[in-house]
Amino acid sequence: MNTENFTGKAEAYAKGRPGYPKAAIETIVGFAPSGAVFADIGAGTGKFTVKLAERGWSVTLR
């Protein structure tokens, strides 16, 4: 893979990448038992992680 294609583009990607609809987040956390810890694998921009943390969920990044 040519990683140089992505060098210096993280900020533009983070700005342009859409977030997650509130209904999608609510549906996902609705399946989680109380006290669950989410694992955000390949978190990328972290937008999903932020939404979980804002709701008080614990998140492990890998």
**pLDDT of 30-60, one tens digit each?**
999 988 999 888 777 888 889 999 999 998 8
Range of the domain at 54: 10-61
pTM above 0.85, yes or no: no
Positive or negative: CA dihedral 22, 28, 30, 34: negative
Instruction: Tally the C-alpha atoms within 13 A of residue 11's C-alpha that lie toward its C-beta.
Output: 1
* Averaged confidence pLDDT in the chain: 85
When comparing pLDDT for 5 and 54, which is higher? 54
Q: Is residue 46 part of a domain?
A: yes
Q: Residue 42 has what pLDDT?
A: 78
Q: How many domains does the chain have?
A: 1
Compute the distance between CA of residue 32 and CA of residue 4 in angstroms, rounded to an integer. 39
Q: Is residue 5 part of a domain?
A: no
Q: Is residue 23 part of a domain?
A: yes
Closest CA to 25 of 62, 60, 50, 58: 50
Q: Is residue 49 part of a domain?
A: yes
Average pLDDT over residues 2-22: 81
Q: Is residue 14 part of a domain?
A: yes
Closest CA to 40 of 19, 20, 10, 61: 61
